Amino acid sequence: MSVEQLRAAIRDVPDFPKPGILFKDITPLLASPEGLRTTVELLVEHCRPLRLTAIVAVESRGFLFAAPLALALAVPLHIVRKPGKLPYKTDSVEYSLEYGTGTLQLHKESLRRGDRVLVMDDLLATGGTAAATARLAAGQGAEVVECAFVIELSFLHGRDKIAPLPCFALIKY
């Protein structure tokens, strides 16, 4: 499958989760074994030269792509979740949302100084979640090499919030 075929597998859902939002639904892509395989293969092809030592995935759809990517690259996978979801001691970071703030957590001592980390999520919108995840990883001493996404909503300028970190997205709208 090509990137254009992957794009065609993503369904637009108008007015979800609220009126005026055009939601990019990845479930048809996940339901296609060939589409999912191609997505992961393209991510592997892009990420292999980065010489990663770990991947940090963002709750929850980021897990779906980060797990097979970590397996293919033979690197550890660490997960970032909302408060109260991780069972061990955590580091936390608070970040701005459109209306208020959010908090993300990562298990303490997940990463080591010198780790070369990829932040992985399914979608880049405004960039706040990815930027907060990168801060969590850096706070544990890791070098965040890049933030990667399956989809980027370019018109929301999320890359600006993540800069100067490089960003990669397979599909851009």
Please give the structure tokens belonging to residue 168: 């990669």
- Give Cα 50 to chain centroid, integer Å: 16
Distance (Å, rounded) from C-alpha 137 to C-alpha 57? Answer: 11
Residue environment code for 95-106, b if the CB has 16+ CB neighbours within 10 A, otherwise e = beeeeeeeebbb
> Catalytic residues, which ones?
61, 98
Rounded to whole angstroms, the Cα distance separating 91 from 112 reads 13
- Confirm if 106 and 89 have CB atoms less than 8 A apart: no
The H or E element containing residue 104 is strand 100-107
d(C-alpha 113, C-alpha 35), whole Å: 36
Here the tokens at position 139 are 């706070």
